[in-house]
Structure formats: structure tokens, C-alpha cells
Structure 1
Amino acid sequence: MNNITIATHNGNFHADDVFSIAALKMIFPSFKLIRTRDLALIGKADIVLDVGGEYDPEAGRFDHHQRGGAGERENGIPYSSFGLIWKKYGLEICQDNQDVVNAVDAGLVSNIDAIDCGHVEGVSKGISLSQTISMFNPTWQEESDFDACFDEAVDFAVRVLARFIASANGGISAKVIVAEAIDNALDPRVIVLEKYTPWKRTVHALSKEALYMVFPSQTGEWRIQTVPVEPGSFEDRKSLPKEWAGLSGKALVDVTAIDDAMFCHNGLFIAGAESFASAMKMATMALQED
């Protein structure tokens, strides 16, 4: 479907219409964008979003401002235009991976929808992505070229959306890798990863026994890291030995009797050695510590 016409409202823009256009750019190689409130032009467009007072995905209509809105998710967050576009095209954008679609909706789309619809309970405080997009609008002191500013915001949103999709893909792949590492662990208290992989959510979901993670660093050495009592917590299930705190180089070698021991963080949550064997020795010593 090439050379289609997409319509949205003109003037001041928000994250939902900006990200809707960004999403559509990922599946339509070219289209004509019209920003207008002229009902005659809107009626001729192939896809209409955030304007027009109609939600009919089969007819390409994705507004949510009409009486009664356009529905809501099971968690009560209503759909804005971005959510409606994502509901229709998300699977195609994410190459038929429903898990990625769901992850992007949970992490990005639903938050933008919630803010746009005034459903802000549970939305993080501080400057939001929606506010960031709004700042692309010209201020009262600037020339009011809303269309040019809208294009800049869309370019930014395309990059953000692409990174959210990549991150969701990575997170889902990581879950599989970490789950296999848990299953294959010789000691369920020490989980070994062949390469660094985001692990905290999966470990907390699947293993109550895991105390330490062992994995290679990006520079080729090995790390041992503690498992926190819950994601985001600074309290560990079992800290590294107290006598290692803040030591590095020869001082740590002397205490551990491990020739290639490198460092231990003062917070006792991560330590390093040059070799895998030495990292595992450190894990064994940590397990034996009362």
C-alpha cells in the first residue's frame, strides 16, 4: 500500500499523534501527510488519526475523542490514537512477535495513552516522554511553523520507538537464555551466563535459590554479581564476603589467595577476576561465608 494519504489534526501536537505517525512510517514506505481539521480533506484520507471523531480500524479511522472514547485495556488504561494504531499495526511492525508487541505497549504505548487521556494514576512522575514531545511545539516567542516542528518530533519519535522495539526484542531473547542457564546450573545458587545478558527479572521470576550470577564482562574478564532480594533493591540475597570490600589488585589477591582476582566493590555486590575459573572460586568462597 504505497502513496497513501494520512491525516491528523493541525496546530499543537502531542505524543500520541507524533508516535502514531512514527509507527506508520515503519510499515508504509511513503505516504502523504496532511495536518488539518478540514472534514472534506479528512474524509478523503486513507488513514485518519487523532481527529475525525471516529474509531473504525477497518476503515482506517483511529480517533479517540468521540463520546465514549475508543475502548480501554484490561488494566483500565484507555486507548489514545497511538494505542489504536499500535493495536492495529503493532504485530506487523514487530515482525509477528506478539511478545514484543505486548512489551512495547506496556513500556511505551500505554504510558503515552494514559497521559494523553488523563489517566495518570501509576504513571511515573518527573518529565515524561509525552512532555518531551510537547516541547517540540513552538513557544509563544517563536515562529509558529507547527508542521515543521511536527516533522522534527516524528523523526525523534521514530528513533525512540525503534529503540523500544529493539529493547523489547532483547529482553525477550534474554529471558530464554537466562532460563536455560538456571536449568543448567550445577549449583542452583550460582548461575553462569556465557555472555552478559539482562537477568534480574528472569532470575527473580524463576529462581528463589540463586545468590550469585557469574558472567564475562565486555572487556573479557569475569564478574560475580549478587542477586538482589527484589528487582531494584540495594539489598542482596547474600552479599560477598565483608573482608573483600573495596579491595583491588594485590590487596584482594592476598585476602582471597586467587592470583588473578581484580576487585570487589565496596558495596559487596560485584567483584571481578581475569578468568572464569577464578570467578567461580570467588563464588565458592562467598557461598561458604557465614
Structure 2
Amino acid sequence: MAGTGVSSSPAYSTSSPSQTPLKRVGTHNGSFHCDEALGCFMIRLTDKFFNAQIVRSRDPKVLDDLDAVLDVGGVYDPSNDCYDHHQKGFEEVFGHGFSTKLSSAGLVYKHFGKELIAKELNVDEGHPDVHRLFLAVYKNFMEAIDAIDNGINQYDTDKPPRYVNNTNLSSRVGKLNLDWTEPDQSAERENEAFQQGMDLAGKEFLDVSFF
């Protein structure tokens, strides 16, 4: 993907250059993790942010001008579509009996997961199958991404595991970051790697959720 040169910070679009995205969603540039890669993938499936442009930047002036911001900015405010989890005092959890602190992916899933599931099942969000699958996908897939991103160990001595981790997806997405030995360390190459991370995380989310 080519850089679009938003402000002075690297940015890129996941949509075709011939299209004009309705919305722009921001996340940080530099090294990436599974949570923002998956969060960006999921939010682009929603009605509100369908096929949105992804802008990767840490510049507050760039981020302030966007329609949603994930994993950067130091603010969790769903009313303004701000979904960061790094700020001091952040303790948001999924609820429904789960106590793992959320990552940016977990925040997007908490607020938009039922919409995505209902659309795929072609039913209303209030359908009981939507709620059932909403909880099952969190338990069997999403919670591990939240926990790993927040540094929560799966095992604590001889106690039962704190969460289910069947995919090692966080590690596999992390390995897509540019190696320091690669000669091309450009923003364009970094954005290509992030796109690969989005594709990998998104494919597994869809596979786990709907197949």
C-alpha cells in the first residue's frame, strides 16, 4: 500500500485509490500488535465505518481529525469512537462474567461484535443466537488477544488457565513486523506488513466466528 502522506505522519488506505472512503479510522504507526490489527479489521466491517480508510499515525493533530481512533490517543470514549486502553486508570472488561482487561480489539468487539454477528447470521441483534455466539467468540478467541496484549499470563501455578488460547494468533501477527535487518524500513513497507497483520487476524476472526 502506498503512503498517502496525511499531515507529516505515515498513513495509508485499505481501500482502492479510486474510492473515496466515507470514514477514516486511526491507529498508531510503528510496530504493531494483534489487537489493533484485528480491531481495524473488525471496525471496517461495521455499518458506521464500512471500508474506512486506515490512517497510521501518532500525531495528535492527525488523530484529532479522524472519525475513530484505536489503540492510540490515551482515551476510551465510545461516544466519540475512541478505543485506546493504554491510559492510566483504564480497567474496562467485557463483562458477562469475564474479568480480563480489554485491548483495542476487545473494545471494538464489545461495542460492535453483536452487529457483526447479526449481519453474518442475517438476523436482528436481539436474536438469542447472536448473544450466544457473541459470548462464545469472546471466550474462545477474543479474550486471549486481550489478555496477551495486556501482559496477562495464561497460567498461574497449578490453577486452571485464565483464558483459552487455541490459535497463538497474537504471536503470529507480531512476527509480521519488519525485522531490523530488512533493508527496506520505509513507512510504505511497514504499512504493507500491517495490512498483512489485518488480513491474518481478520481471516481467523471470521473463521472462528462463522465457520
1:36/1:42 contact within 8 Å kept: yes
Aligned-partner Cα distance in 1 for 2:165–2:74: 30
Distance of aligned partners of 1:68 and 1:13 in 2 relative to their CA distance in 1, 3 Å threshold: same
2:117 maps to what in 1?
94
Q: Does 1:152 find its partner at 2:193?
A: no
Q: How does 1:35-184 map to 2 (within 5 A)?
A: 35-73=56-94, 74-95=97-118, 96=125, 97-121=130-154, 122=161, 123=163, 128-142=168-182, 143-144=184-185, 145-167=189-211
How far 1:126 moved relative to its partner? 9.3
Task: Compare CA radii of gyration and give the structure with the larger one.
Answer: 1
What's the Cα RMSD here? 1.8
Aligned-partner Cα distance in 1 for 2:115–2:164: 29
1:55/1:70 contact within 8 Å kept: no
Question: Which amino acid is 1:133 matched to?
Answer: V
Q: Does 1:29 find its partner at 2:50?
A: yes
SS at match of 1:114: helix
2:40/2:198 contact within 8 Å kept: yes
SS at match of 1:77: strand
Aligned-partner Cα distance in 1 for 2:86–2:106: 13
How far 1:20 moved relative to its partner? 0.2
- Show structure 2 runs of 5+ residues with no match: 1-20, 119-124, 155-160
- Show structure 1 runs of 5+ residues with no match: 168-290
2:28 maps to what in 1?
9
Aligned-partner Cα distance in 2 for 1:102–1:36: 32
